[in-house]
Structure formats: C-alpha cells, structure tokens
A = this chain, B = another copy of it.
Amino acid sequence: MLRINRETDYGIVILSAMARSPGERFNPSRLAAAHGLPQPMASKVMKQLVRAGLLCSYRGAKGGYGLVRDPGEITVAEIIEALEGPIAFTECVEDGTGSCNHVDGCTAGAIWSRVSSVVQRALDGVSLAEMARPAEFPVTVYPVQVQWATDGGCAGPVSADPAKLKLIDR
C-alpha cells in the first residue's frame, strides 16, 4: 500500500492535461471524456483544486477552469496536499506533537517525521510540468508560451499569492 487515492490520481491526470496547453480554459466534462474518467469526479476534483488555489474558475457560459500558476512552479507535493491533506505517515507526525498518544513506549515519532520530510522533499522536487511531459525532462526551463492570468480574470475569491505569479511574454 502507501497509495495515493484515486481522487489525487485523477487530479494529477487533469492538471497534467491542463499543463500541456496552459492558458486555455478547460471544463470537467470534456477533460473527463478525453481521458476516460468519470465526469462528476473530474468536477469534484477541480472544485477542490480551486479551493486550494491551484486552479481558478470562470463561471457561466464559456466558463471553465484555468491554471493559476506556471506548471513549472507547481509541485506535486502541493497537488497531493491539496487533494489529500498534509503528507504525514502517521497521526503523530501530522498533529506535530512528535509523541504518541495511543501507544505506551512508542519511540517512532522522531523517525516518522524524518521519513515524512524526506518524502515531502522528494515530492517538492517534482513539478507539474515534469509530470505532464516526463520525456522532455530534465530541461532547464519549461517553455511556456502564454501570458498568465494575472489580469484579474482570476482575482476574485481565489487566494493565490500574486507574488508567485510568473508573467511570461513573448
């Protein structure tokens, strides 16, 4: 085991697809159809990704979802955390106390948090861009050709840090 769950898996697939045509708007139904995954699941996942600040949503006709940041700036760690909460092997690690509330004489806490942080770093080191086109990596810079949605189109309820938005103009 030690699996990521299906929702997260779908999330990666969806975001990868979006990363391959960044700047475009996508709607869940078409994405689901294109990649053979259940349509309501796609909706569910994308909604969650909006809440996490990785996607922004445009409502109404001709609406859809768009990436908030450069795929090269989004890490797999972020995606996993967005879809299944903090990366922690055990509860002790997650609640941060480091000591075990349940079992007498459990000395594992220190080690688990060490292991968790290794995993964290591993996942931090992989970008969405890499996920989307593994064959093209390693590559210094991901070749983005569009302007990012810093123009207010996504300024509303989305809590993305504007400082992190990268504007690429050519």
A89 touches B131 (CB 8 A): no
Number of A interface residues in the complex (CB < 8 A): 46
Tell me which of B4, B105, B135 contacts A2 (CB under 8 A): B4
Least CB distance from A11 to B in Å reads: 10
Interface 9-mer from A59-67, A119-127, A162-170: A119-127
Would you call A110 an interface residue if the criterion is a C-beta within 8 Å of the partner chain's C-beta atoms? yes
Would you call A50 an interface residue if the criterion is a C-beta within 8 Å of the partner chain's C-beta atoms? no
| A113 to B94 CA separation, bound complex (whole angstroms) | 25
Contacts of A115 in B (CB 8 A): 76, 122-123, 126
Interface residues of A in 55-76 (CB under 8 A from B): 76
Least CB distance from A78 to B in Å reads: 14
B88 touches A9 (CB 8 A): no
- B-facing mask of A70-93, CB < 8 A → 1, else 0? 000000100010001101111100
